A and B are shown apart, each in its own frame.
Chain A
Amino acid sequence: MKRSYVIKRILYAIFIFFVVLTLNFFIPRLGVRDPAERYYPPQGAMSEIEYEIIKQFTRAQYGFDVSTFQQYIRYIRGLARLDLGTSLRSGSPKVTALIGERLPWTLVLSVTTLIISLSIGLLFGTLAAWRRGRWQDTLLLNASTVSVALPAFFIALMLSFYLGFELELFPAYTNPNMVAQFDWSWEAIQVVLNNAALPIMSMAMGGIVGFSQSTRNSVIAVTNEDFVITARAKGLSHTTVLYKHILRNAMLPLATSIGMSISGLIGGAIIIEQVFNWQGMGTLFLEANSTNDYPLMMGIMLFLSAFAILANLITELLYVILDPRVTVGDKR
């Protein structure tokens, strides 16, 4: 029973991937009749005939010389080989290679932020739920409202200003040599941590508050359930009640929100990376944008979508494992 559910979800994920992939294919063709238009060099002093030849050459170079359908097939074939295309940069590096270079750096920020947000969030959320109505709880509620209203990039700017420029505790801009000089030595790692401190702080603030709030709501909802009274009526110690009964159930809906934050992890760091000039996927994407490097842009888009699909799928499957009630049928 469960197995068929798992298979269904995987097939569905593949289906969605196909739709997204198709969209990805067609988006760059928006707004122009001739999709190769964006790749043509400027006409300059060339005559019409010369320009026509150049255009044909460009089309062939970028694969626009075949029918759209064939291009689509080629695209899919490429994806099957994990080839996301070739960037327009000098040297024509593969998109996959570029992503591979920068992704780890984004992960440094995102994963650390996630871990920090989760652990502190769970702690504080449970505390706020336990002390419902008291100052810890009200503090959280106010912090939540404030945190949403203060965008992460604004916090980033303020931190960059005070901790970076004024107090000089951390570098306000990422050291441009950080990536090149990284050699897994302890000093290099320290440099990375030093530079990553402000970006992580900016992102973590919102994350902590967010997770605290979700945890708190979840724990309160569960604490009001009957089986918690049963557990207490059995005379179990209140730590047992808290961990085995309350938290074990409260974590379930959290799994979904964790999954969702994971998918937003990579794409969401774009602005923060920009503020600190951190050389990750976000800045890669912005660079691609400013140079109209469409293959790179769309390659990254597809990668991000695929990542989101995967994250969702894993979350759903995790839910199946954790919650014995989930068997067949969609939980809509």
Chain B
Amino acid sequence: MPDIFIPGDKKEENKEKPQEFEAASSDLKFPEDEKHSHSLSSFCRNPKGFSFRDQDEDEKILLFLRKHFITNFTWIFITIILITIPPFLLFIPFLRETFLSSVPFNFLVVSVIFYYLIVFSFAFVSFATWFYNISIVTNKRIVDVDFSDLIYHDVAVTKLRLVEDTNYTKIGFLHSLFNYGNVFVQTAGEQAHFDFLAIPKPEDAVNIIEDLIGIHPK
């Protein structure tokens, strides 16, 4: 049965509880990843030099996650192929004698520069998409920043006490070889689940989040 009357001193006890948990979570220490704490890190405990908008003064980033760097391989490979295409075309005698000789030189110059500008843009947008797609676990909440193709970005936040369950999957040869996978966090909040895709050491990330959930009672 719910208590209708709560004595004054008991009320104060109840108020103090969340603060106790808050303090406890901020005391939670994870070993620092000094080796991996740089701007291109994919998995970083207690990172230095990272902050996000709306971060509280007493809020500490415990875990910083981003897709594994190996996931950049596809766009890097495509970029290298695209860079090497025009010089290869010059070595094809048929093209050189027919198409290239019929196009005025100034048109050719502008076209080649424009082509390389587009390749540069493709590489830059791909890198920025990887760079800004991050997930942050603080002592208070989980922040998931989704950023795709520079036309869409979504920042989702959930408080740690709303986290209900976490699990991870590591399927496939590359995932096992480079030790990365997907972490799924289910919450009782508006956004039912947070997906951290292709992050390194998914089991460590799940352990850290589970430790934090243990501190925060539901």
The answer to whether A binds B is no
Chain A residues with a Cβ under 8 A of chain B: none
